């Protein structure tokens, strides 16, 4: 019954290369702006200005930050495992960049699909590459040779197994309703109604798990600065530390992108076709704003509380959601 | 079997936290034995900010000791001043005028609010609620503005003097203070709206770090920690000092003695303190702000050019200071952290022979092991915040 998205749109190789470069360039242009936006917004939430010294409105602050981080010594503790220590920050960057590829910015226009790739396994790809990031944290934390890092790494492992299942189940409802794993097809299926309305429970569970995926408050246990200094990145300095930070923002973008595509109708919006990527970006930024807002407001959960939340609340809820959706899809 | 126990033992990981750690409130070092993330044993190591203040005090004339003692517990400096000045006044039998009593009460209670605000901001920060720090410090700055207005300094004001206060409050102070105490309960309500109805905050604080009332009494713990466990012991009610018998206020007490009760007691105390300030402000009348005893109190500046007597007194007080008959006194007040006592031993000279402070942070820190052992490391940090130790006071 389930129609698999069998034939994909095939493009010339040079278009693929140009496309990936453009997406890469745009996203890496957004990332630094995102850091300023977050610091500005949190500043406003906290009755202060946020960065406003470097460049107009502090817009050049990330350049100054990166310049500082690059010029710093790449310190490595004496008892760290050198190769793994260097590999640690690279894996999450890889995972983030790979996950960017499937975010759909628009459908095929003038012979060019406005997305990196449209794979028939779509969302499974997102989970597959998304989980690689945690290897980076685990390896980085473990190989640092520091007890704080080890504890942070352990926490990230515990966190990974607690929410990943519910995250997958939360999306299962959407996949059943759209009948395809491909993100482009999922967005196309939302022509009449955005899935956030019939799949509201799934949306909430996905966003909650998304906070855990991105290590953001209230689930920032792996890097809980109050108890573990900086968790798995305690011993990192310079741009290695910077890339861990960068990945956090990249993951926010990716999770927002997936959520926007799966629940908020992706690029759907009034206006001509060239507006589609703008709509997608706007929806993503609404979700990014939620991420920042929550960070400024909520305290941090304890890691055993996240585990019990993941296993005892989110998982049954997500399962129930899938069950109800399945019954409804079959009967109607 | 022997091997198994050996393996269990190696699973315990000893972690050194501090003395420089983002969450320890001051330079406190903790040696923590962890099994997984559960705290099995814990040793606080203190002494990193030991500056020998008590010893230095023995080398200063009586009123030059005041700026020293302020710097012990650097968050509740007015309380240190009151404990010391009150002790010396009792030693020499000096009565302070009514206006000074009210002024001291007002500044002590403002300082209590200030101290609790610092506590709330930093403890919420430990729990991950980063914005609370800025909200609390916004109100704290208004208190510091008031201190600056009256004393010229924001921190370590040296406002209290043996015999009263060093200067009267300036014009416009009362208006600003009344605005503040009108705002403060609203602000406290906002803090509660952010934390009290926050499921994450509740699950992080409720049932965490419970120590029984009996155990706290055994350890000599005082202040909000003891009151949170249900013991309504507050020196402002128990003893008769300053204007406290004349104002109407209540002592908030907890029931369980967990971190949530500690939070609630302190937040309620902030509101009670604003009530005390308001009543003291209403009751205060015009009059002298410092005792008129030329043996201990500087003469007014205007008299120096007209009166030979005053000039001599001024010269004697500023150079040698006043002499105190041999004797000793212990005077204790309710600081934001508990019973703050000051012991002064006089030997007849113009310098104290011994000054010793019973600092509540130091005594309360003993209860930390009972609060934290058996809990998660995250809760240990939260409990340390709720304990509210000021390491400057612990080490002195």
How many other C-beta atoms lie within 10 A of the C-beta of residue B1?
Answer: 5
Q: Which residues of chain A does B124 touch, with a Cβ-Cβ cutoff of 8 Å?
A: 299
pLDDT, mean of residues B221-239 = 89
For A225, the closest chain B residue by CA position comes to: B22
* Any domain includes A169: yes
Which run of H or of E encompasses B353? strand B352-358
CA atoms of A13 and A17, how far apart (whole Å): 6
B127/A226 CB distance under 8 A:
yes
Count of pairs with CB atoms under 8 A, one residue in A, one in B: 90
Residue A41 counted as domain residue = no
- State chain A's mean pLDDT as an integer: 83
pTM of the model as a whole: 0.87
Mean pLDDT of B41-53: 89
Any bridge partners for residue B43, and if so which? B31
> Which of A209-223, A307-321, B148-162 bottoms out in mean pLDDT, i.e. has the lowest?
A209-223
Q: Which chain A residues are within 8 Å of B198, Cβ to Cβ?
A: 298-299
Task: Give the model's pLDDT for residue B9.
Answer: 54
For residue B100, what is the enclosing H or E element? helix B98-126
Q: What b/e readout covers A60-71, taking b as 16+ CB neighbours within 10 angstroms? A: bbbeebeeebee
pLDDT (mean) for B129-146: 90
How far, in Å, CA of A166 to CA of A315, rounded? 5
Q: What is the mean pLDDT of residues A194-200?
A: 82
* pLDDT at residue B377 is higher than 50: yes
Domain that holds residue A287: 72-108+121-331
The reply to whether A101 falls in a domain is yes
Q: What is the mean pLDDT of residues A187-208?
A: 84
Task: Please report which confidence band the pLDDT of residue B1 belongs to, taking 50, 70 and 90 as the band edges.
Answer: very low
Find the CB nearest A300 among B13, B36, B127.
Answer: B127
B14 forms beta bridges with B33
Residue of B126, B129, B381 lying closest to A298 (CB–CB): B129
**Is residue B113 predicted with pLDDT exceeding 90?**
yes
Q: Judge whether B352 and B63 are in contact, CB under 8 Å.
A: no
The candidate with the shortest Cα–Cα distance to B260, out of B375, B379, B366, B363, is B379
How much is the pLDDT for B143?
Answer: 93
Whether A55 maps to a domain, the answer reads no
Give me the pLDDT at residue B267, please: 92
Kind and range of the H or E run holding B79: helix B77-92
pLDDT of residue A215: 78
Domains identified in chain A, total number:
1
Taking the C-alpha atoms of residue B158 and residue B131, their distance in angstroms, rounded to an integer, is 32
Residue with tokens 């076709």: A273
Does A32 fall in a domain?
no
- Percentage of chain B lying above the pLDDT 70 cut: 97
pLDDT band at A62 (very low <50, low <70, confident <90, very high): confident
What is the predicted pLDDT for the residue at B84?
A: 92
Helices (H), A46-192: 61-70, 82-100, 122-143, 147-178, 183-188
Domain for residue A35, yes or no?
A: no
Instruction: Tell me whether residue A301 is in a domain.
Output: yes
Helix (H) or strand (E) holding B33: strand B29-35
Distance CA B95, CA B298 (A): 15
Which of B168, B141, B166, B169 lies closest to B155 in space, CA to CA? Answer: B141
Confidence of residue B175 (pLDDT cuts 50, 70, 90): very high
A2 within a domain of the structure (yes/no): no
Indicate the average pLDDT of chain B. 88
* Residue found by looking up tokens 């400096």 in the block: B77
Res A226: pLDDT? 65
| A299–B204 CB contact, under 8 Å | yes
Q: What is the mean pLDDT of residues A305-329?
A: 88
- CA distances from residue B222 to B211, B318, B358 in whole angstroms, order as listed: 13, 38, 11
Least Cα distance to B335 among B315, B313, B357 occurs for: B357
- Inspect the interface and report whether the beta carbons of B130 and A218 lie closer than 8 Å: no
DSSP class of residue B292 equals: -
- The answer to whether the Cβ–Cβ distance between B134 and A299 falls below 8 Å is no
pLDDT grade for A3, boundaries at 50, 70 and 90: low
Chain A: give the shortest CA distance to residue B122, in Å.
10
Q: Which of A321, A87, A282 is nearest to A201 (CA)?
A: A321
What DSSP string describes A275-328? Answer: GHHHHHHHHHHHHHHHHHHHHHH--PPPHHHHHHIIIIIIHHHHHHHHHHHHHH
For residue B236 the two structure tokens come to 């402002």
**Cross-chain Cβ contact B203/A48 below 8 Å:** no
The nearest alpha carbon in chain B to A302 belongs to B378
Largest Cα separation within chain B, whole Å, is 92
Nearest to B336 by CA among B119, B87, B28, B106: B119
């Amino acid at each position: 019954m389930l129609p698999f998205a069998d034939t994909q749109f095939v493009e010339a190789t040079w278009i693929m290369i140009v496309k990936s470069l453009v997406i890469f360039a745009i996203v890496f242009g957004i990332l630094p702006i995102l850091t300023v936006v977050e610091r500005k917004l949190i500043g406003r939430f906290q009755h202060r200005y946020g960065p406003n010294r470097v460049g107009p409105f502090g817009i050049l602050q990330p350049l100054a930050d990166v310049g500082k981080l690059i010029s710093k010594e790449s310190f490595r503790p004496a008892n760290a495992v050198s190769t793994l220590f260097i590999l640690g920050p690279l894996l999450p960057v890889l995972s983030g960049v790979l996950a960017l590829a499937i975010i759909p910015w628009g459908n095929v226009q003038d012979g060019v699909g406005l997305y990196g790739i449209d794979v028939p396994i779509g969302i499974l790809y997102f989970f597959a590459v998304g989980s690689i990031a945690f290897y980076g944290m685990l390896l980085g934390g473990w190989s640092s040779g520091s007890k704080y890092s080890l504890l942070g790494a352990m926490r990230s492992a515990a966190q990974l197994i607690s929410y990943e299942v519910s995250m997958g189940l939360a999306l299962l409802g959407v996949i059943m309703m759209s009948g395809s794993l491909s993100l482009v097809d999922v967005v196309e299926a939302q022509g009449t109604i955005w899935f956030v309305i019939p799949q509201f429970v799934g949306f909430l569970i996905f966003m909650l798990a998304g906070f855990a995926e991105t290590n953001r408050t209230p689930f920032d246990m792996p890097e809980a600065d109050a108890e573990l200094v900086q968790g798995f990145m305690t011993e990192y300095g310079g741009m290695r530390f910077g890339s861990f930070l960068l990945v956090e923002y990249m993951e926010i973008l990716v999770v927002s992108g997936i959520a926007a595509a799966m629940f908020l109708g992706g690029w759907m919006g009034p206006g001509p076709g060239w507006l589609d990527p703008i709509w997608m970006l706007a929806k993503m930024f609404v979700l990014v704003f939620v991420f920042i807002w929550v960070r400024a407001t909520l305290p941090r959960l304890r890691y055993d509380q996240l585990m019990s939340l993941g296993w005892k609340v989110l998982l049954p809820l997500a399962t129930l959601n899938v069950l109800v959706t399945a019954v409804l899809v079959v009967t109607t | 079997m022997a091997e198994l126990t050996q393996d269990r033992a190696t699973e315990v990981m000893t972690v050194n936290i501090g003395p420089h750690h983002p969450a320890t409130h001051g330079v406190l070092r903790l040696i923590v034995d962890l099994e997984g993330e559960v705290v099995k044993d814990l040793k606080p190591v203190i002494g990193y900010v030991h500056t020998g203040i008590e010893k230095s005090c023995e080398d200063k004339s009586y009123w030059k000791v005041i700026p020293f003692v302020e710097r012990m517990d650097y968050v509740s400096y007015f309380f240190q001043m009151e404990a010391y000045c009150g002790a010396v006044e009792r030693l020499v039998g000096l009565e302070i005028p009514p206006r000074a009593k009210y002024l001291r009460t007002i500044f002590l209670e403002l300082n209590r609010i200030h101290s609790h605000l610092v506590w709330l901001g930093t403890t919420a920060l430990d729990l991950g609620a980063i914005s609370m720090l800025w909200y609390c410090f916004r109100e704290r700055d208004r208190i510091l503005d008031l201190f600056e207005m009256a004393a010229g300094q924001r921190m370590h004001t040296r406002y209290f003097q043996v015999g009263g206060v060093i200067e009267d409050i300036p014009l416009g102070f009362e208006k600003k203070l009344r605005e503040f105490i009108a705002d403060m309960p609203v602000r406290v309500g906002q803090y509660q709206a952010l934390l009290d109805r926050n499921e994450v905050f509740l699950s992080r604080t409720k049932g965490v770090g419970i120590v029984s009332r009996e155990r706290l009494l055994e350890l000599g713990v005082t202040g909000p920690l003891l009151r949170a466990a249900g013991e309504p012991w507050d020196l402002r009610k128990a003893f008769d000092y300053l204007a406290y018998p004349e104002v109407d206020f209540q002592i908030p007490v907890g029931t369980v003695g967990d971190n949530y009760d500690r939070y609630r007691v302190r937040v309620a105390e902030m509101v009670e303190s604003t009530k005390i300030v308001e009543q003291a402000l209403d009751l205060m009348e015009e009059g002298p702000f410092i005792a008129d005893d030329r043996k201990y109190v500087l003469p007014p500046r205007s008299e120096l050019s007209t009166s030979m007597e005053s000039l001599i007194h001024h010269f004697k007080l500023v150079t040698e200071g006043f002499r105190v008959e041999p004797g000793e006194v212990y005077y204790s007040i309710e600081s934001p952290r508990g019973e703050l006592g000051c012991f002064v031993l006089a030997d007849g000279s113009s310098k104290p022979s011994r000054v010793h402070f019973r600092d509540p942070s130091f005594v309360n820190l003993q209860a930390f092991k009972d609060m934290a052992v058996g809990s998660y490391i995250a809760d240990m940090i939260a409990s340390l915040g709720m304990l509210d130790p000021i390491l400057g006071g612990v080490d002195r």
